[in-house]
């Protein structure tokens, strides 16, 4: 019971907590849906007091107030290791840097002390009866950068689902320096991506490549969602899940009885993932669900781990391809779109998997300002 006294003793206001941030320091925000609005807003209030603070994150889904408070970037320098739509808009205005990263290598940067962290600002669940808070929907590299940080500050948010592991999905109260009471706002929900008739045709072709007992990875976007919807309505059996991103369509497939994981060679019966982004349907499904297993990204995305499951079927989108067989999924010409995430890891892992298949799926054309443009080009960067 000692953890309760320690937990209560460590509670401060958000304004008080962020006083530990110093000029020239490095601050790491929580990842994906687990970035804290509350701590970011408190840090933004200190804009005029600070200079040269480097803020790092991975796919923050909102535009931080700290960035808005300093458009000339004298006080806060914002960096994202894998762009979200919000980061992409900021980058277009020269208000966000892209830092190249091969995603599964992320934790090793901290484990090897290559990347310093002064303060970690994260969002967590309240502690359980054993004194452990849960990292929610973003396992990823969060535990690694918290281990490396000199000071860890956690916003406690009761809307965060308790996502079971796996591994390294929790922190003990003793590992956190300050707690801040959050506003308990629900996690951000991804808007539904419209599925076109062409998406459905491509999804039908993909479905023909999937056999009973296959292990699935789905990327983000309309195409993977279309595949998931068709699988849910199919007669496929005993599918498994080992994926980077957990999305709503996995819930549909599980509830339709298509996913059991019983033919997996690794983590049998478990739906393995490193972060989740979707709607409340997904977040409610993950909460305290023992069929789901949250792992750090150096496990989920390590090709030598991925290939240990037979019949890995990895399905991802792309921006364009060229006649040399090169695939662009991260940038369009010189404009950064996202980052080097799971696509590279899973294409290679599926290649090494017995019976595995890595599928890059895209429409042959798209409409840009009423002009039809090709996605298949003689060389990359012609879009």
What confidence tens digit (pLDDT) does each residue in 90-131 have? 999 999 999 988 999 999 999 999 999 999 999 999 999 999
Judgement on whether residues 265 and 321 belong to the same structural domain of the protein? yes
Specify if 377 maps to a domain: no
Of the candidate ranges 24-38, 70-84, 190-204, the one whose mean pLDDT is the lowest:
190-204
What is the band of 1 on the pLDDT scale with cuts at 50, 70, 90?
A: low
Judgement on whether residues 211 and 280 belong to the same structural domain of the protein? yes
Specify if 15 maps to a domain: yes
Instruction: Please give the residue that has the higher pLDDT: either 170 or 1.
Output: 170
Residue 141 has pLDDT above 90, yes or no: yes
Nearest Cα residue to 36 out of 57, 16, 53: 57
**How buried is 235 (Cβ within 10 angstroms: 0-12 exposed, 13-18 middle, 19+ buried)?**
exposed
Of the candidate ranges 15-19, 172-176, 289-293, 326-330, the one whose mean pLDDT is the lowest:
326-330
Among 181, 213, 231, the domain boundary falls at 181
Judgement on whether residues 104 and 215 belong to the same structural domain of the protein? no
DSSP letter for each residue of 14-78: HHHHGGG--TT-EEEEPPGGG--HHHHHHHHTTGGG--SEEEEES--SS--HHHHT-TT-SSEEE
264 close to 239: Cβ distance less than 8 angstroms: no
Count up the domains in the chain and report the number.
Answer: 2
Rounded mean pLDDT, 141-161: 98
Judgement on whether residues 166 and 225 belong to the same structural domain of the protein? no
Residue at token pair 């005029």: 48
Assign residue 294 the CATH number of its domain: 3.30.750.70
Distance of CA 280 to the CA centre of its chain: 16
Assign residue 153 the CATH number of its domain: 3.40.1080.10
**Predicted model pTM:** 0.95
Q: Are strands 170-172 and 132-134 parallel, antiparallel or unpaired?
A: antiparallel
Question: Would you name the residues annotated as active-site residues?
Answer: 244
**Which residue range is the domain that position 33 belongs to?**
2-181
Judgement on whether residues 220 and 286 belong to the same structural domain of the protein? yes
Instruction: Please give the residue that has the higher pLDDT: either 217 or 326.
Output: 217
């Amino acid at each position: 019971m000692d953890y309760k006294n320690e937990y209560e003793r460590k509670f401060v206001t958000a304004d008080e907590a962020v006083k530990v941030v110093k000029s020239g320091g490095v601050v790491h925000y929580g990842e994906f849906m687990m970035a804290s609005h509350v701590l970011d807003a408190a840090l933004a209030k200190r804009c005029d007091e600070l200079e040269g603070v480097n803020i790092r994150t991975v796919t923050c889904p909102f535009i931080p107030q700290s960035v808005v408070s300093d458009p000339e970037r004298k006080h806060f320098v914002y960096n994202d290791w894998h762009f979200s739509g919000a980061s992409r808009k900021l980058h277009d205005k020269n208000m966000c840097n892209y830092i190249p990263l091969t995603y599964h290598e992320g934790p090793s940067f901290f484990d090897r002390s290559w990347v310093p962290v002064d303060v970690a600002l994260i969002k967590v669940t309240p502690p359980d009866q054993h004194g452990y808070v849960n990292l929610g929907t973003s396992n990823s590299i969060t535990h690694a950068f918290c281990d490396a940080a000199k000071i860890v500050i956690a916003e406690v948010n009761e809307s965060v689902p308790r996502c079971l592991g796996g591994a390294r999905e929790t922190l003990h109260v003793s590992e956190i320096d300050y707690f801040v009471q959050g506003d308990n706002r629900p996690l951000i929900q991804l808007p539904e991506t419209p599925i076109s008739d062409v998406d459905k045709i491509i999804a039908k072709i993909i479905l023909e490549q999937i056999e009973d007992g296959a292990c699935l990875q789905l990327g983000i976007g309309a195409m993977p969602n279309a595949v998931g919807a068709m699988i849910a309505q199919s007669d496929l059996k005993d599918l498994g899940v080992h994926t980077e991103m957990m999305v709503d369509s996995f819930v549909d497939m599980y509830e339709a009885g298509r996913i059991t994981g019983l033919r997996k060679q690794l983590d049998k019966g478990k739906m393995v993932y490193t972060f989740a982004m979707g709607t409340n349907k997904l977040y409610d499904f993950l909460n305290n669900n023992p069929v789901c297993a949250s792992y750090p990204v150096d496990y989920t995305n390590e090709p030598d781990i991925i290939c240990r499951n037979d019949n890995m079927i990895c399905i991802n989108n792309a921006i364009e391809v060229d006649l040399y067989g090169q695939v662009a999924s991260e940038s369009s010409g010189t404009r950064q779109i996202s980052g080097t995430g799971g696509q590279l890891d899973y294409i290679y892992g599926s290649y090494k998997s017995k019976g595995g298949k890595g599928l890059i799926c895209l429409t042959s054309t798209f409409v840009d300002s009423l002009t039809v443009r090709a996605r298949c080009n003689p060389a990359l960067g012609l879009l």
